[in-house]
Amino acid sequence: MRHSDAKLDHNRRALITKSLNFGYDIEQLCQAIRGCSYTPYNMGDNDRGQRYDGLHVILRDADQIDRFIHHYHSPPRPIRETDRRTETNVQTLQRWMDKKMREEQNRAH
C-alpha cells in the first residue's frame, strides 16, 4: 500500500490474528489488502482526497474483509468526473425542489 515506514506493531498483529481466527487464510487476507488497493474511494478518489487503506480499515470485520476480497476479484470502476457532476446536479435540483414544495405548502396553509 506504499507505506514504506509501516511497522507490524501489536495492534496490526492483533488485527491479522483476529482475521485468521474468523476463518480467513493468509491468501484471502492478501486478496483483501490488494482489493483495497483496487478500490478508488479507499485510495483517495473521494470528496476529501483521503486514503482509507490501513489494516484497521481493511481487516475491521468480516464484512469489510469480504468486501475487499470481492473488489480483488471484481474491481470497482472509478467514478468519472461527469458522473460526479451529474450526481451533484441531481442533489442540487432535489434540494431546490424540496424548498419549492415547502414554500408551496406554506402558502396553501
pLDDT at 81 over 90: no
Model pLDDT, residue 68? 98
28 and 56 belong to one structural domain:
yes
Tally the domains of the chain: 2
Model pLDDT, residue 82? 82
13 and 57 belong to one structural domain:
yes
Higher per-residue confidence, 104 vs 60: 60
108 and 58 belong to one structural domain:
no
Alpha helices, DSSP H, located in the chain:
10-22, 26-37, 55-58, 62-73, 81-108
Query: Which range marks the domain in which residue 3 is found?
Result: 1-78
1 and 25 belong to one structural domain:
yes
Rounded CA-CA distance 7/17 in Å is 16
Model pLDDT, residue 33? 97
47 and 9 belong to one structural domain:
yes
DSSP classification of residue 80 = P
Model pLDDT, residue 8? 94
Model pLDDT, residue 109? 77
Cα-to-chain-centroid distance, residue 79: 12
Rounded CA-CA distance 60/19 in Å is 9
Cα-to-chain-centroid distance, residue 33: 13
Rounded CA-CA distance 67/62 in Å is 8
pLDDT at 29 over 90: yes
23 and 67 belong to one structural domain:
yes
Which H helix or E strand runs over 89?
Answer: helix 81-108
Please write the tens of the pLDDT for every residue from 30-79. Answer: 999 999 999 999 999 888 999 999 999 999 999 999 999 999 999 998 77
28 and 64 belong to one structural domain:
yes
